[in-house]
Amino acid sequence: MRTGLLLAVVATGLLAALASANTLDDMSVSDTREWNFRVLLDDSEIGYHRFQLTELGDRRRLLSEASFDVRFLFVTAYRYRHVNREVWDGRCLDRIETDTDSNGQELSVKGSRASTGFVIDAGDDVRELPDCVMSFAYWDPAFLGQQRLLNPQTGEYVDVNITMIDQCELTVRGERVVANHYRITGQDMKIDVWYSSARE
């Protein structure tokens, strides 16, 4: 997420569906959910960020896809494509594999839990992090209590400051919803997210 952009991420949809044919670590899957986000730059929509979460008990599989295009005078000034695959054990990241094209710069990150911690391989940089780490898991409001998060694009374990800004009303799926507005700040980032009182 080190794009230098000011992003405002607004949840626009939640689709709940049963999935009987998928697998998670060779186990039957009980539930799949999707979140679709609009991504804004200075109030202009520049793309989307989608999350698909498959759950079975404490095990979760996440597929995340993001696509941004920043245009200036009919020319694409910045292009971003990102695919992220994660496996979670409870609220701890178990495995991660990402591929990113940040305006032509290709990035790849792989990581997994080991006996001594979480090992991240970002190509020319292999590091060991604490055993239980979280990425920018917007789908799990527990991430709002973290002081450090794993950046899936770069493999960096970044310091973040997450604060509640205010409470407001948003239109979600055609209905007015009371939402809590949070801001995530850190190195080269400023991200706004909203959650309903039900933590959706």
For residue 57, the model assigns a pLDDT of 82
Q: Which residue has the higher pLDDT, 17 or 164?
A: 164
For residue 187, the model assigns a pLDDT of 83
State both tokens at 4.
């230098």
Biggest CA–CA distance in the chain, Å, is: 52
Question: Which helix (H) or strand (E) element contains residue 155?
Answer: none
In tens, the pLDDT along 132-188 reads 999 999 888 889 999 999 999 999 999 999 999 999 998 888 889 999 999 999 988
190 domain residue, yes or no: no
Q: Which residue has the higher pLDDT, 70 or 29?
A: 70
Token pair 């496996």: residue: 87
Specify the pTM: 0.77
For residue 30, the model assigns a pLDDT of 61
Least confident of 9-23, 41-55, 85-99, 148-162: 9-23
Number of domains within the chain:
1
- DSSP-based three-state secondary structure for 52: strand
**What percentage of the chain reaches a pLDDT higher than 90?**
57
153 domain residue, yes or no: yes
For residue 8, the model assigns a pLDDT of 40
Q: 130: pLDDT confidence band, cut at 50, 70 and 90? A: very high
139 domain residue, yes or no: yes
Q: 96 to each of 84, 156, 160, 182, how far by Cα in Å?
A: 7, 13, 20, 25
Q: What is the mean pLDDT of the chain?
A: 84
For residue 152, the model assigns a pLDDT of 92
In tens, the pLDDT along 101-117 reads 999 999 999 999 998 99
123 domain residue, yes or no: yes
Whole domain around residue 153: which residue ranges?
15-33+46-163
Sequence-ordered list of residues with C-beta below 8 angstroms from that of 124, at least 6 positions apart, any chain? none
Residue 7 has pLDDT above 60, yes or no: no
